[in-house]
Amino acid sequence: MINEGALNGGPIRVLVVDDHDLFRAGLASLLAAQPDIEVVAQASGGRVGVRLAEELRPDVVLMDVRMPDLEGPDATREILEHDPSIRVLALTVVSDDADVAAVVEAGACGFLAKDTSTEGVVVAVRAAAQGVAWLSPRAAEVVLGRVRRNGRKAEPSPGPIDQLSARELEVLRLIASGMENAEIAQTLGISPRTAKNHVSNILSKLGLPSRIQAAIYAVRRGLT
Residue 197: alpha-carbon gap to chain centroid: 19
Within the chain, all domains assigned CATH 1.10.10.10 are found at 158-220
pLDDT in tens, 113-156: 888 888 889 988 998 888 776 766 666 666 666 666 665 444 44
The C-alpha atoms of residue 134 and residue 203 are separated, in whole angstroms, by 15
Least confident of 19-23, 175-179, 187-191, 220-224: 220-224
The C-alpha atoms of residue 12 and residue 10 are separated, in whole angstroms, by 7
Radius of gyration of the chain (CA): 17
Amino acid code (one letter) for 105: E
pLDDT band for position 41 (cuts 50, 70, 90): very high
Q: Which fold has domain 158-220?
A: Arc Repressor Mutant, subunit A (1.10.10)
pLDDT in tens, 57-90: 999 999 999 898 999 999 999 999 999 889 999 9
pLDDT recorded at residue 2? 43
Q: Which CATH class is domain 4-147?
A: alpha beta
Within the chain, all domains assigned CATH 3.40.50.2300 are found at 4-147
pLDDT band for position 159 (cuts 50, 70, 90): low
What one-character-per-residue DSSP string does 41-83 give?
Answer: EEESSHHHHHHHHHHH--SEEEEES--SSS-HHHHHHHHHHH-
Helical spans, DSSP H, in the chain: 4-7, 21-32, 46-56, 72-82, 97-106, 118-129, 137-150, 166-176, 181-188, 192-206, 211-220
Predicted model pTM: 0.68
